[in-house]
Structure 1
Amino acid sequence: MAIEHIIQKLKESDHNKVRVAITDIDGVMRGKLMLKEKFLSALESGFGFCDVVFGWDMADESYDNVETTGWHTGYPDAEARIDLKTCRELPWDDHLPFLIGDFSRESDDDLPVCPRSVLKQVAAKSAELGYHPVFSQEFEWFNFQETPKSLEEKSYINPEPLTPGMFGYSILRSSQNSGYFNDLFDLMEQFDVPLEGLHTETGPGVYEAAIQYSEVIEAADRATLFKTGVKEIAYKYGVMASFMAKWSRDLPGCSGHVHQSLWKNGKNVFFNEKDPGNLSQTMRSYMAGQLTCLPELLPMIAPTINSYKRLVEGAWAPTTLTWGVDNRTTALRALPGSEKSCRLETRIVGSDVNPYLAMAACLASGLYGIEQELNLEVEETIGNGYLDKKNGILPVTLAEATAKMKKSKIARELFGDSFVNHFTASREWECRQFNKAVTNWELKRYFEII
C-alpha cells in the first residue's frame, strides 16, 4: 500500500489513538498509545521516546556499565521514527492501528544500539552488493496454564503445562485447545504475520510455528510481532506463552531457526543446478562466512544465560561448527531443493533471541564470506554433527561468548565499536546479575551438607 494511502486510512480510522512500539536490545517490544492527532503530526519530525529503553535490562534495572545513556546523561528522549510500511491492525484489540518505530535517521546518523536500525544497515549493505535477502524465522515455545500473578505466587517453580506428555505433531493435543490453537493461526494472518504451519512439538504444551518468508526487514518485524502477539493472544485464553530457550533440563529447548536466501535479478543465487549438490559458490561462501563469524557474534543469536542450557549435545540444538545437507544435528542445515526453495537454515538460533539482531548476525556474517570470497573448506558432516568437532565447538556460556565478541575484530568491522561496546556491556551485566543470584541448585546441594 502506498504511503499516502496508509496515512489516509489512519486519518479515516474510527479510533482516536494508535499503538506504537520499538524493540529494545533484548528484543522486548516497548510501546505506548498515542493520540492519533499527535501521531500524525509526528510522522515527519519524529517523536520523543525515552532512551532509558536502551539503558536498562529486560527487568527494567538500570545498567551501570554503558555509555549510551544512564544517570550520567539524565535519560533524555531519543528521536524515534515510525515506519509507515509496518502499519497493521490488532485483530484481538478492536483492530486498533499498530506501527513499529526505530531510531534511524535520514542522515544515516542512526542510534547505533537500536536493533532494527542495525539490521537496516546490514540490509543496505546487501543491497549495495546487489543482493535481495529473503528470510524467515520459525519458533518453538511452551504454553502454560498460568497467569503472571499465579506464576509469581509460585516463584516461577513448577508451572503447569497446557497439556501433558510428549506429543509432537499431535492432532489430539491441538484439539484440546482448538480455540487458542486456531486463533493463533487466524489472528496472525489478520495481523499480517502469516504462518506457513503450526503444530505441537514434542514436550508438554509446546507448539511450533513457521512464519512465511519475506524481505529481511519485514521478516524480522514479523518474527518480533509474532512473539509479542502470541503472548497477547495467550493471555485471552488464560495461558502464558514462554519463549525461554530452555525452561526445564528434562525437556527439549526452544529453537528460533532462521531461514535465508539471497536473490539477484529475480534468481536465487544460492542455487546452482550444475553443481552435484545444487549449491552455488555464493552459497558456499555465505556458509563459510557464518562458520567463520558466528562464534564471534554468538551473543547476538544466543543472548541469555539460559540460551546455553539449550546448546548441549543431543538436545536438538547444535554445539559444533558444522554444516550438512538436510542434517538437523549441524549448525548450518543446507536445503538445496529447487531454485525457488534453496536456502540455508541456521540452527544455532534459539527462540529467546532478538530477531533483528539474530538476522543481522546471520546476514552480515554470510555477506562477509561472499565479500572475502571464502571457500567452504569445512567438509560436509554426514551423520551425527555432535561428534564432528574438527572445526571447533561453540562457546558454552554467555560469559565466554561475550568475552570473545568483545575482543573480536570481525564483530567491530561488521557492526562498529559503539554497538559492540554497548551490546557486550549489556551481556556482561546479564552475567553479573546471574552471578549474584542464589539458585535452587545451590540450596539443594549446599544447604545441609556443607
Structure 2
Amino acid sequence: MDTSPTARADRAARTPEADEAARATARLRAAGVHGVALTFVDNAGLTRVKAVPPARLPEAVRAGVGMSPCFDTYLVDDSMVTGPHLGGPDGDLRLVPDLERLTVLAAQPGWAWAPVDRREQDGTRYAGCQRGFARRMARRALEEHGIELRMGFETEWIVTRGPLPPPGAEPEYPTAGPAYGMARLVETSAYLRAVLEALAAQGVEVLQAHPEYARGQFEVSVAPADPVGAADLAVLVRETVRAVSLRHGLTPAFGPVVDPSGVGSGGHLHLSLWRDGRALCGGGDGPFGMSRECEGFLAGVLEELPALLALGVPSPAGYLRLRPSRWAGAYRCWGLENREAALRFVAGAAGAPEAANAELKCVDGSANPYLLVGGVIAAGLAGLGRGPERPRLPEPVAGDPAHRGGQPRLPASLAESLRHFERSRTLRAALGGPLADAIAAVRAGEIALFDGATPVEIAAATCGRY
C-alpha cells in the first residue's frame, strides 16, 4: 500500500471539503510552498499561529489542528490569567483553516497563510472563537434585517531602523521628511513599493498608501469586504507589512503609541450598510443623506461606544493615544467629515450614495479585529432592533469637540471602559458569557500588569507586540 502523504490525503478525500483541500495542496506545492501558517487573534489582540506542511492541509480541514484554549486568557506579555469559564491548562481545541482565504505569501517565500475557526474536539462551535462571533453577528444582520455590511480597516504603523529601543531611548527612523510629505515617500520608495507589490501579488486591493503624521509612520487602506473578510484582511495586511519591513532591515510597530508624547497609530474601521445591492448610508432622508436605518445603526454604535472601547481600545497603551485634539476621536460624538469625532460620517461625492460610509476613529491596532467588527454590528443592531423607537443620532459636531462645550468624553482609561463593558447587556448577550468573561479577565489582567508603570514604560512594553 502506498503510504506517502499524497496517497493518505487521497484516501481521506471523501468530502467536498477534503477534495478542495487536496486541490489546494497541489496548488501550494506548485507554488513552492512548504508551510501554511494557520492564525487566530487572541483576546489581547495578538495573532497566534500553528503551521502545517501542505501535505497536512487536507487532514487539518477534516479534523483540525490541536491547540490549547489557554490563549483566550493570555496577556500582551504572554503571561496568563484565568476567567470563570476559559483559561488554564486543561482542554484542547481544533484549528480548522478557511480555504477560501488561503493565500500564498509574497513576502515570505515558501509560505502560505489561512485564518482558522476554532472548534471543540467534536467539531461543534467553540464559545470563545472570536472569528465565529464576527460571523454570527454578520449573519444576524442579514437574517433579522436583510442588511449586509461592508467593512474595511486602515492599517497604521511606525517603522524604525534596527530593533525597537528600550524605554526612554530615541528610535532611529528611516525618514526625515514631513508628515504626508512626498519627501518621506521618496526616502522610502523602495520599501513602500515592496509593500504594494506584495499586497497586489496576494490579491489585496489597496485603495491608498501614504506617509502619516508621526515620524516613521505610514498607512495602508484596502477595499471593503464582508465583516469576517475585513478582519481577515486586517491580519493579512499587517503580517505582510511586517514581513516586508523585516526584509528591508526595518522593525514595524503596530501598537497604539511608540512615543507617548506624540501622535499614535489608529486602526480605524470603515463600515457601510447595504440591502439588495442598495446603499443605506446614502440616498436617504436622514442626516446628510443617510437612510433612517443607517441612522439607527450608527446611533446604536454611538450609544454603546464607551463599552465598545474595551474591544476597540483593549490595551492601557491605547489610552495614551486617545487624547483630545489629536485626531484620535476622544469624544463620544459624530460629525460630517470631522476627524476629531469618534464617529466620522463620510457622505461621499455628490451623486454617489454608494460611497457613503462611517468611520470609527477611536479604535487602534491593539484590537482583535474579529471582536471589533462583531461588537460594532451588535451595537448597531441594538439600535435597529427598537423599530419605530430606535435611537436617533444627536446633533453633529463641527470642529474640535474639545472646544465645543457639553460633548461627552470617552473613557480615558481601560479601567473605565471595562466598567462600561461589564455593564453592557448588549455586548454580553452578543458575545455570550464565556467569551465576555474571558475578555473581561484579560482586560483586568492588563490593568494589573501595568499598574504603576509610566507612559514611557507602557509604550515600550506594547508597541512592538501586536
Residues 306-330 of structure 1: CA distance to partner in whole angstroms, max 9, x if unpaired? Answer: 1111111111112221111111111
**Aligned-pair RMSD on alpha carbons?**
2.4
1:385 shift after superposition: 2.2
C-alpha distance in 2 between matches for 1:276 and 1:366: 17
C-alpha distance in 2 between matches for 1:27 and 1:305: 12
Structure 2 equivalent of residue 402 of structure 1: 418
C-alpha distance in 2 between matches for 1:407 and 1:276: 30
Of 26, 31, 47, the residue aligned with 1:11 is 26
Q: Greater shift after overlay, 432-441 or 187-196?
A: 432-441
C-alpha distance in 1 between matches for 2:121 and 2:355: 35
Pair 221,172 (structure 1): closer, same or farther in 2 beyond 3 Å: same
Taking the TM superposition and a 5 Å limit, the aligned residue runs for 1:221-232 are: 221-232=232-243
Q: Is the 8 A contact 1:65 1:429 kept in 2?
A: no
Structure 1 equivalent of residue 403 of structure 2: 387
Structure 2 length-normalised TM: 0.86
Pair 156,233 (structure 1): closer, same or farther in 2 beyond 3 Å: farther
1:110 shift after superposition: 2.7
C-alpha distance in 2 between matches for 1:274 and 1:437: 50
Structure 1 equivalent of residue 11 of structure 2: none
Residues 314-352 of structure 1: CA distance to partner in whole angstroms, max 9, x if unpaired? Answer: 111122211111111111111122222011111111232
C-alpha distance in 1 between matches for 2:135 and 2:117: 10
C-alpha distance in 2 between matches for 1:80 and 1:194: 27
Of 341, 350, 360, the residue aligned with 2:364 is 350
Residue 396 of structure 1 aligns to a residue whose secondary structure is coil
Alignment of 1:40 with 2:37, yes or no, is no
Structure 2 equivalent of residue 249 of structure 1: 260
Structure 2 unpaired stretches of 5+: 1-15, 459-466
C-alpha distance in 2 between matches for 1:341 and 1:310: 29
Alignment of 1:259 with 2:274, yes or no, is no
Structure 2 equivalent of residue 448 of structure 1: none
Of 101, 109, 112, the residue aligned with 1:97 is 112
C-alpha distance in 1 between matches for 2:119 and 2:346: 34
Of 151, 172, 175, the residue aligned with 1:160 is 172
Structure 1 unpaired stretches of 5+: 443-450
C-alpha distance in 2 between matches for 1:227 and 1:316: 22
Of 347, 353, 357, the residue aligned with 1:336 is 347
* Higher RCO (CA 8 Å, separation ≥ 6 residues): 2
Residue 85 of structure 2 aligns to a residue whose secondary structure is coil
Pair 32,45 (structure 1): closer, same or farther in 2 beyond 3 Å: closer
Residues 149-179 of structure 1: CA distance to partner in whole angstroms, max 9, x if unpaired? Answer: xx4xx457322122235x2222221221222
Flag as ranges the 4+ runs of structure 1 deviating above 6 A: 105-108, 438-442
Q: Is the 8 A contact 2:320 2:455 kept in 1?
A: no
C-alpha distance in 2 between matches for 1:25 and 1:347: 20
Pair 116,245 (structure 1): closer, same or farther in 2 beyond 3 Å: same
Residues 244-288 of structure 1: CA distance to partner in whole angstroms, max 9, x if unpaired? Answer: 212213321111111101111111122225557211101110111
C-alpha distance in 2 between matches for 1:114 and 1:389: 42
Residue 350 of structure 1 aligns to a residue whose secondary structure is coil
Pair 170,375 (structure 1): closer, same or farther in 2 beyond 3 Å: same
Instruction: Report sequence identity in percent.
Output: 23
Taking the TM superposition and a 5 Å limit, the aligned residue runs for 1:170-185 are: 170-185=181-196
Of 121, 133, 143, the residue aligned with 1:118 is 133
C-alpha distance in 2 between matches for 1:133 and 1:79: 29
Taking the TM superposition and a 5 Å limit, the aligned residue runs for 1:213-224 are: 213-224=224-235
Residues 34-81 of structure 1: CA distance to partner in whole angstroms, max 9, x if unpaired? Answer: 1333321231222211223223223221214553121xxx34321221
C-alpha distance in 2 between matches for 1:32 and 1:275: 47
Structure 2 equivalent of residue 368 of structure 1: 382
1:12 shift after superposition: 4.4
